């Protein structure tokens, strides 16, 4: 069982681990790797598209301040823990991998209760609250580098999905540029994670409005928050900018290998994937 999600930064490493288990014949096939996530997370679409079974639990993240919403969040967490116990009793997995994020907590706590081995997969230099909690019960914590503070840490680096590894060092660049209908204009890809990053989005729209340089194509992945936000201002781009704005990029590997420059928030999964592809990047 691989538990966690909420954002692509948690889900994509889980899918990379799942696919590696299948490719290396550690399990019989995709049906032998069960992913557990949240009803609110992006895993709802990413996991089924990758061909793995998915179980969704109720619940939402707990705000780190006094808020009435936390009452409902705690009740949802309790319900999710009960359902996770029932799920694990039925499935009896050999191990539970916790990816982090609030979606990993119910399954991780249930595994600890049932004495099922836990492995924490931490993507960041500074672990999140979920992995700090579950790390106390884990047999091992897979970390990207020394100094995370997690117990029983083993430096493994971050898992990178097969679609990225196949494009290492820019393999398939010309085909990728044809897919995006590009000519010889510079191609810039902008994204701030699956939810988006308001400050990056605002800065890019303002920069495209004021751009007075040569012709460029900007593929801007806005993210779900600003895509739906009625108060987000979308400035018109200058005449020399082809500004392509999408809510979410379902084939980001192809966009990245086609890019001349990437502007992105420096999430751990993003940094790992850009390092494999080898595309020039400006990271925030």
**257's tokens:** 């290998």
Confidence of residue 171 (pLDDT cuts 50, 70, 90): confident
Confidence of residue 195 (pLDDT cuts 50, 70, 90): confident
Is it the case that residue 137 has pLDDT exceeding 70?
A: yes
Residue 110 CA to residue 223 CA, distance in Å, equals: 32
Mean local confidence (pLDDT), 151-163 = 95
- Domain annotation for the chain: domains and CATH numbers: 2-159 (3.40.50.2000), 164-283 (3.40.50.2000)
From the list 249, 143, 152, 240, the residue with the least C-alpha distance to 192 is 249
pLDDT at residue 103, as a whole number: 83
Residue 42 CA to residue 79 CA, distance in Å, equals: 21
pTM of the model: 0.85
Confidence of residue 194 (pLDDT cuts 50, 70, 90): confident
Torsion angle defined by CA atoms of residues 162, 167, 169 and 170, in that order, rounded to the nearest 10 degrees? -160
pLDDT digits (tens, 9 = 90+) for 71-88: 666 787 889 999 999 999
Question: When comparing pLDDT for 120 and 63, which is higher?
Answer: 120
pLDDT at residue 155, as a whole number: 97
Is it the case that residue 59 has pLDDT exceeding 90?
A: no
Torsion angle defined by CA atoms of residues 212, 237, 201 and 175, in that order, rounded to the nearest 10 degrees? -90
pLDDT digits (tens, 9 = 90+) for 25-37: 999 999 999 999 9
**218's tokens:** 């900007």
Question: When comparing pLDDT for 135 and 40, which is higher?
Answer: 135
From the list 4, 1, 5, 13, the residue with the least C-alpha distance to 159 is 13
% helix, strand, coil for the chain, step of 5: 40, 15, 40
Contacts of 71 (CB under 8 A, 6+ apart): none
Mean local confidence (pLDDT), 157-175 = 90
Confidence of residue 102 (pLDDT cuts 50, 70, 90): confident
pLDDT digits (tens, 9 = 90+) for 259-269: 999 999 998 99
Confidence of residue 7 (pLDDT cuts 50, 70, 90): confident
Confidence of residue 193 (pLDDT cuts 50, 70, 90): confident
């Amino acid at each position: 069982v691989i538990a966690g999600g909420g954002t692509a930064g948690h889900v994509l490493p889980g899918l990379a681990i799942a696919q590696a288990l299948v490719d290396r014949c550690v399990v019989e096939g995709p049906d032998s790797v069960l992913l557990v996530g949240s009803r609110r997370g992006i895993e709802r679409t990413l996991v089924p598209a990758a061909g793995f079974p998915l179980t969704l639990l109720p619940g939402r993240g707990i705000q780190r301040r006094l808020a009435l919403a936390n009452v409902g969040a705690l009740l949802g967490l309790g319900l999710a823990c009960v359902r996770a116990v029932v799920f694990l009793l039925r499935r009896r997995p050999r191990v539970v991998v916790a990816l982090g994020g609030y979606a990993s907590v119910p399954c991780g706590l249930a595994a600890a209760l049932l004495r099922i081995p836990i492995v924490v997969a931490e993507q960041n230099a500074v672990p999140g609250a979920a992995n700090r909690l579950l790390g106390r019960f884990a047999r091992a914590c897979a970390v990207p580098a020394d100094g995370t503070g997690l117990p029983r840490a083993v430096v493994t680096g971050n898992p990178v999905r097969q679609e990225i590894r196949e494009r290492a060092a820019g393999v398939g660049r010309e085909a990728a540029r044809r897919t995006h209908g590009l000519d010889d204009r510079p191609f810039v890809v902008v994204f701030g994670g699956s939810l988006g990053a308001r400050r990056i989005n605002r800065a890019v729209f303002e920069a495209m409005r004021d751009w007075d340089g040569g012709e460029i194509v900007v593929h801007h992945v806005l993210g779900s928050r600003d895509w739906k936000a009625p108060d987000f201002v979308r400035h018109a781009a200058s005449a020399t900018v082809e500004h392509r704005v999408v809510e979410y990029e379902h084939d980001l590997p192809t966009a990245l290998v086609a890019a001349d420059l990437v502007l992105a928030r420096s999430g751990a999964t993003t940094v790992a994937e850009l390092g494999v592809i080898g595309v020039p990047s400006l990271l925030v």
